[in-house]
Amino acid sequence: MTRPDLNLLVTLDVLLAEGSVARAAQRLRLSPSAMSRALARLRAATGDPLLVRAGRGLVPTPRALEVRGRVGQLVQDGEAMLRPVGKLAIQQLARTFTLRTSEGFVENFGPGLLARVSAEAPGVQLRFLQKPTKDSTLLREGTVDLETGVVEPTTSPELRTQALFRDRYLGVVRKGHALTRGRITAARYAGGRHIGVARDPSRDPIDDALAALDLKRKIVVSLVAGFSTALALARSSDLIATVPERHTGNLRAGLHSFPLPFATPEFTVSLLWHPRFEADPGHRWLRNLVREVCAAV
């Protein structure tokens, strides 16, 4: 089946409004003969004469009168859809955004983000989801608006990304722990009792760095995720937690943090979203807000 030429809707709208081939041609900047050919195509497409001669002018048929209002609305809707988006009235925005991120990100950056949203767009609600895996299906489906995380080779290439901040790992122990006194060496660090936090223990950067020094730490308890849980355990025991610095800034209050005594790679935490939301003004506002809050903490 041949698809209709939707440009004919604009032609029909102008013809019905003007009631004259000559005036419609002038309005659309076409020659009278080109407009006559367009009218012939409209008649063939609709199976109706649409405009018939009455004296010196043209009058619409019953079919033309029936569709005149609908055609005008269709053309207006199409023009509005293709028009550049105007300025968003943030104060009037009423919308729920879903962010999929880590527990530590919410606890460290969430309060600042919520305060900004409340002040700028009181009708906006944020919904946070845990991010146990790096699967981007929820972003593709539109179930999730934004994610935070480390962009890796396995990250879907269709996703848009924006770096938020650089981060590095720190060691954290309770006040009065043995590691709060004296010089911390790689051997002293490895010799302690540790909390392991990793989705994939086979790819832990801390253990990889220690292995290069022929050292191995003793993991007493392993967590699939949850830096706040690791810090809570370290706060009430002699266990050593190793956590990202920026992700846990607010959570380490009252604990002793120290730089790791061996080299580990820094990593970039990024914002990820699906291209369907690239030009959405509300989504763009939220992306900018997340970046500003992360830069301020």
pLDDT of 1 higher than 60? no
Mean pLDDT of the region 23-27: 87
pLDDT of residue 286: 96
Beta carbons within 8 Å of 84's beta carbon, 6+ residues apart: none
A 10 A CB-CB count for 297 gives: 14
pLDDT tens for residues 132-166? 777 777 888 788 999 999 998 888 888 899 999 99
The proportion of the chain whose per-residue pLDDT surpasses 70, expressed as a percent, equals: 95
Q: How far apart are CA 279 and CA 272, in angstroms?
A: 14
CB pairs under 8 A, 24+ apart, for 39-42?
Answer: 39/11, 39/15, 41/5, 41/8, 42/8, 42/11, 42/12, 42/15
Q: Which residues of 196-218 are buried (b: 16+ CB within 10 A; e: fewer)?
A: bbbeeeeebebbebbeeeebebe
Q: Which residues pair with 162 in a beta bridge?
A: 271
Query: Which residue ranges form the domains of the chain, and what is each CATH number?
Result: 7-82 (1.10.10.10), 90-167+268-296 (3.40.190.10), 169-265 (3.40.190.10)
- In this structure, are residues 148 and 113 in contact, taking their beta carbons and an 8 Å threshold? no
Which helix (H) or strand (E) element contains residue 57? Answer: strand 57-60
Quote the mean pLDDT of the chain.
88
Question: What is the band of 215 on the pLDDT scale with cuts at 50, 70, 90?
Answer: very high
pLDDT at 291 over 80: yes
Is the pLDDT at 212 greater than 90? The verdict is yes
Enclosing H/E stretch for 232: helix 227-235
Neighbours of 134 (CB within 10 A): 15
| Highest-confidence segment of 54-63, 181-190, 242-251 | 181-190
Residue pair 297/109 in contact by the 8 Å Cβ criterion:
yes
Residue type, 285: W
Please determine, for residue 202, whether its predicted confidence score (pLDDT) is greater than 60. yes
Assign 224 a pLDDT band (cuts: 50, 70, 90).
low
pLDDT in tens, 107-128: 889 999 999 999 999 999 999 9
**pLDDT tens digits along 55-107:** 777 888 899 888 887 887 788 777 766 766 667 788 988 899 999 998 788 88
The yes-or-no verdict on residue 236 having pLDDT over 90 is yes
Please say if the pLDDT value at position 216 is more than 60: yes
pLDDT digits over 261-278, tens only?
999 999 999 999 998 888
